[in-house]
Structure 1
């Protein structure tokens, strides 16, 4: 048996699979996000441990025999978080999360240093880890002076699981300290933020062992023998492992809290000016590109909260048959935007409201706004040399056939819906645990699920979608200047 642990922004998911990759059981435990000031987003790492104990505890009560047979554990987690650890491995402050934008000034300063783009292949985004440490140095110097290790969120879980300071390439590529082509920490970039390699975790590949489960936890969970903890992956790379998106030409679109258009690459293809992320994949000698939007289902959930209606009800009002874009345009920049704008301070807007605008029209506009933001990512990926001919849809938003038809039509590519099953980050993490524990060939393990259904572009609406996308594109520079 193999256990995948996925540390998400809103909860921890634990999943058990067997050696045939059949899902035996899964459990989740919720997490909250603290927003003490505008633009801030934090979590207490102790809550990650509590949630993991709760999720695994549920599996122990429901699948105790299977849990006891676990030989490998894989980790996945939300990226870019700054978890600051003191000399005694104590947490120094709440973790600053991926969607925290307080360090936009520090990010701009680091990005102006040409070494960062040259070595990492990426813009220094405010959500990345390095500018967060620069902010801490500028605003919390006492804490900065005590930092013994900087860990990414899933790697703090690893520290608790194994007692070791270890990370892997896919997650570390999102820090702005990794030489992404060489797959190694850069002394130059660390020095630019007054840090050293000694303050970084040891690096392994995602498919390699990254420690062994501590005896105390193994005993608590009924496990015996050496339980390998894999290097694992950042959440998007882990999802790619779960979806089998590991070979050149494969791609997926994720409609989760944030939105991602992800393409696997056999070579390192950076183009930082496009605001496309060029990161290491979880497999050795493999990279990936992705366009990232900060609010996908988060935008629909915001709309649901404002209207006092559930996201499911709002989606159901639209039905399944795609309609031509209406007169209202929504810009989904509720917490800034990454691809293609790299703008932490931009905020969302409805444009074109009228007396006759209904809740249904606003819902349609919200979905279209997210769709057009993903189209922005497609255009950025194209400019970076990546061609996408079809995508597989994952994430909570992919349950809406309307949304998928909108994406297929705006991107001009078929959208595949995988057969029933959970192929997300927790499944990918479990697969990584399997590979690390058994030494299996990753390509033979990371296979794609069967396609249950394909949503094709609605050709009759292609021209109206193109017109609406051009209108959408014109609005960012208009509101940015205000």
Structure 2
């Protein structure tokens, strides 16, 4: 039996997988509390991740009917880019600043300039620093909390921190490390000179975790912790990876020719590449994969985080929200939403706010506003999909994951907006499944290709095929969206 864990923005999810039978036996989740501030601050306490892990761990095993001592290995997926700064005793010095935290926008702009602008970043790292990356968070801590910064003994990403809690080992792998802003994504190694620009007082070779290959274990669960959790001795913890990288594994996106799209708190689109890419746009992240090769990726910051705000504004549960979307007409009777409640990464508008446009006395209704925010989030993903170029245009199918993927009406909107067939894996929490698959791979259960072929199954009932008339109408609505985007925010290409 193998355990997959996804520590996301909103919750930690745990799945129990029987690799031999090819089945997910049980799953559970526990929520996290998000601390938000008007200046773009979005933080969490790392202790909450551990508490959530323990609760979801026990419930998932109970639901699966599996005793903890039958677990052979664990694979951890985590929200990317978060900064977990630890002291010499391994304790967090500050709440973890998350991927969606935009408080360090000024520091990011300064870092990009010091590294030689966008071209300098591309030359050094293979990508351009974004406000969400870890780099500017460290610079922010150095500038605003120097007394905390001076006590830093190590810096980990969220999934690395959970690996450390489980094993006592401070390690990292190329996939998640790609999103730090001080990792050379082409050579798959830390860029110590760039880290010195970010944190000149810190010794990078001591502060940064040891890099391991994605196939290598991070370590074994600590004996004392294993006793507390009821695990047997010697349980492996795989390298793990970022949620996007493990989500790719969990959808079978491990070779060229497939696109994975996530309708989660944020939106992501990725396509596997055998070689490092030369990005045409600074918005395209040349990330490494958490198995082999690369995973060029686009990330938007407002998907279910945006739809949840509107749904709760009208006091709707998820079923009622989906009904409202269905009742509204395609294009929401002319209402256009730029759902940038958290700023935006693609396009690069970290200080933007949400905008609702085209509202009149005739079209302003809960139904239209609900549909318009879903369409706006989906238009943002189409914008990102187009930036992937040939990697996306050659794909005949999109594997859709995340909470929004459970909505049939939203799946159809994605199919019509992109003009591409959409289908969901049977397990839509693909990052947690990807963690379990990687754990089994690490433990020697077989090749990754064979494991994905055995465990990743699509839900044929979820298939959504683009409808020609709707595709044409959405082309017009998307053009309207781009026009509004350009009018409010200038040249966004």
CA contact (8 A) 1:7 1:77 kept: yes
Out of 429, 436, 440, the residue aligned to residue 434 of structure 1 is 440
1:274–1:380 contact (8 Å) kept in structure 2: no
Query: In structure 1, how many angstroms separate the alpha carbons of the residues matched to 2:486 and 2:36?
Result: 28
Q: TM-score, normalised by structure 2?
A: 0.93
Aligned equivalent of 1:309: 316
* Distance change >3 Å, CA 385–CA 434, structure 1 → 2: closer
Which blocks of at least 5 consecutive residues in structure 2 are unaligned? Answer: none
Match for residue 224 of structure 2? 216
Which residue number corresponds to residue 151 of structure 2? 146
- Out of 398-407 and 99-108, give the one that drifted further: 398-407
CA distance in 2, matches of 1:27, 1:310: 20
Q: 1:207 to 1:153 in 2, by over 3 A?
A: same
Q: Retained in 1: the 8 A contact 2:174–2:211? A: yes
2:12/2:52 contact within 8 Å kept: yes
Please give the alpha-carbon distance, in whole angstroms, between the structure 2 residues aligned to 1:421 and 1:461.
28
Deviation at 1:456, TM superposition (A): 1.2
> Separation in 2 of the partners of 1:140 and 1:477?
37
Are 1:233 and 2:241 matched, yes or no? yes
Q: Aligned partners of 1:306 and 1:324: how far apart in 2?
A: 21
Matched, 1:262 2:270: yes
- Name the structure 2 match of 1:280: 288
**Do structure 1's residue 473 and structure 2's residue 478 form an aligned pair?**
no
Aligned to 1:38: 39
How has the CA–CA distance of structure 1 residues 412 and 59 changed in structure 2, closer, same or farther, with 3 Å as cutoff? closer
What residue in structure 2 maps to residue 13 of structure 1?
Answer: 13
User: Cα gap change, 1:61/1:365 in structure 2, threshold over 3 Å: closer, same or farther?
Assistant: closer
CA distance in 1, matches of 2:427, 2:144: 46
Q: Could you tell me which residue of structure 1 aligns to residue 398 of structure 2? A: 391
| Alignment check: 8 A CA contact 2:16 2:61 kept | no
Equivalent position of 2:414 in the other structure = 407
Aligned residue in 2 for 1:367: 374
What is the Cα-based RMSD across aligned positions, in Å?
2.0
Secondary structure at 1:155's aligned position in 2? Answer: helix
Mapped to 2, the partners of 1:344 and 1:310 lie a distance apart of 29
Q: Alignment partner of 2:127: what SS?
A: coil
| Residues 271, 296 of structure 2: 8 Å contact kept | yes
1:60–1:397 distance in 2 versus 1, CA, 3 Å: closer
- Counterpart of 1:69 in structure 2 is 70
Residues 333 and 347 of structure 1 are in contact (CA less than 8 Å); yes or no, is this contact kept in structure 2? yes
Secondary structure of the residue that 1:273 maps to in structure 2?
coil
Mapped pair 1:94 → 2:95: yes
Q: Kindly state the Cα deviation for residue 416 of structure 1 after the two structures are TM-superposed.
A: 1.6
Counterpart CA distance in 2 for 1:22 and 1:384 is 31
Q: Which residue of 2 aligns with 1:174?
A: 179
TM-score relative to the length of structure 1: 0.95
How far apart are 1:251 and its partner, in Å?
A: 1.0
Q: CA 1:301 to 1:467, structure 2 compared with 1: closer, same or farther past 3 Å?
A: same
Residues 359 and 235 of structure 1, relative CA distance in 2, 3 Å threshold: same
- Match of residue 261 from structure 2: 253
Q: 1:452 to 1:280 in 2, by over 3 A?
A: same
- Give secondary structure in 2 for the equivalent of 1:287: coil
Indicate which of 108, 116, 131 corresponds to 2:121: 116
Quote how far apart the aligned CAs of 1:246 are. 0.8
In structure 1, distance between residues paired with 2:424 and 2:50:
33
Q: Give the C-alpha shift of residue 142 in structure 1.
A: 1.1
Rounded to whole Å, the distance in 1 between the matches of 2:452 and 2:270 is 16
Deviation at 1:442, TM superposition (A): 1.4
Structure 2 residue corresponding to 1:131, chosen from 132, 136, 141: 136
Number of aligned residues: 479
Distance 2:218 2:96 in 1: 22
Provide the C-alpha distance between the structure 2 equivalents of 1:65 and 1:469, rounded to a whole number of angstroms: 49
Does structure 2 retain, via aligned residues, the 8 Å contact 1:59–1:67? Answer: no
CA distance in 2 between counterparts of 1:461 and 1:62 reads 42
1:323-342 deviations in whole A, cap 9, x for unaligned? 35521101111111112x21
Residue matched to 2:451:
445
Contact preservation (8 Å) 1:4, 1:430? yes
Alpha-carbon shift at residue 320 of structure 1 (Å):
8.6
Cα distance in 2, alignment partners of residues 264 and 293 from structure 1: 18
- The question of 1:345 aligning with 2:354 is answered no
Q: Measure, in 2, the Cα distance between the counterparts of 1:143 and 1:324.
A: 49
Closer/same/farther in 2, CA of residues 323 and 436 from structure 1, 3 Å limit: same
Structure 1 residue 104 corresponds to structure 2 residue 105: yes
